[in-house]
Amino acid sequence: MDEFLEFLQQLDFGPVAVIEQEGNNGDKLIYIGLEKVLRSAKVPFYKLSNPLLIKRNETSKSFVARYRQTVGRLLPSFLSSRIKDLNYSFYYRITRPFEFRNNLCQCIILNGGASINDLWGGIPLLKNIIKNNPSGEIIVAPHTFYFVSTDFGKIFENSRQEIHLFCREKVSYCILNSLDLPPNVTIHLSNDLALYLNPKDIIPYCMQSKFTCSSYDLLAIRNDRTSIIPKEAVIKKLKGCKLLVQDISQSASFPDFVKIINNSKCVYTDRLHVAIAASILRKQTVLFSTSYFKNKAVFENSLKERFSSLRFCRDLESFDGKIC
């Protein structure tokens, strides 16, 4: 049995609070997997919405006005130093402090993914949860943990509650085990939450999509700082194929995300959850590497044996062209 599911089955709390960190369609797929495993474990839960997102091309002035209207307080210091230019090419997750109280919330589950690292915005959220919920148990669902400048161990220095950190691959598991974490922090190894899903869980979303094209190969390459695969070079190798080129994790609605994958013949991507969704839907898929270990580590830990239709390529040199 998967360790995360087994762990949940042992919980004896009332309803647990679940935090879905807003993000791209891959994050949505992960959250659908989290809800499914919670129901499988018969854990009662309720959802807390949290992040306020900086919108693409939003100005600092309009963001500050919208933040104050929504949150009703001054900007936190970690954010104030980062809003001189909000015209980022990605959505930056901003999290206001949660004021959880132990008598209301005995257990908090933070959705899985890859937000708790030096690349994205999940570390301030975890800090706030630890600070404002000093007695309730905290569970970080299967994650990729990656740190270059952050001293991750420091955020647990004054913590006393039980904290469980689930890694979704062995590299993160080794990273956390190399840190001097206090005894109230336990490290686990489990699978990505999207792997609890099957075609019946996600195909119904196609009914909500108006996308109509079919019989193409999908090329979904990231358009952010973690991308190392030039999509033009992949297109050149796939010359002669009918291609749909789109970063559907960011640019499509979730129903379109599912239907675009479902209507494709083959999928080429460096988006982990495009590859996972495509593999669940039994598409021949190539998953490329990104600037750090995430894709390769998850592939080696759980995808390689599960999906015979999925192939991992560390770079363009190891990619010899069309797979179907």
Q: What does the pLDDT average to over 170-179?
A: 96
What are 191-227's pLDDT values in tens digits?
999 999 999 999 999 999 999 999 999 999 998 888 9
158 contacts 185 by C-beta, under 8 angstroms: no
pLDDT band at 17 (very low <50, low <70, confident <90, very high): confident
Q: Say what the pLDDT of residue 74 is.
A: 52
Instruction: Tell me the pLDDT of the chain averaged across its residues.
Output: 85
Angle subtended at Cα 51 by Cα 48 and Cα 52, rounded to the nearest 5 degrees: 130
Q: The whole model's pTM is what?
A: 0.84
Instruction: For 76-123, write each residue's pLDDT tens digit.
Output: 544 554 454 444 333 334 434 344 444 456 899 999 999 888 777 788
Among 2, 13, 7, which residue's Cα sits nearest to residue 164?
7
Domains within the chain, CATH numbers bracketed: 3-51+95-196 (3.40.50), 199-318 (3.40.50)
Q: Which of 42-51, 92-101, 175-184 has the lowest mean pLDDT?
A: 92-101
Of the candidates 58, 68, 115, the one whose C-alpha atom is nearest the C-alpha of residue 88 is 58
What average pLDDT does this structure show over 44-71?
Answer: 59
Higher pLDDT, 34 or 135: 34
If you average pLDDT over residues 124-140, what whole number do you get? 87
Q: How are strands ordered across the β-sheet holding 216-220?
A: 243-245, 216-220, 264-269, 284-288, 310-313
| pLDDT for the residue 8 | 96
DSSP state of 251: H
**Mean pLDDT on 53-68:** 56
H-assigned helices in 148-214: 170-177, 199-202
pLDDT recorded at residue 103: 43
Over range 144-164, report the average pLDDT: 92
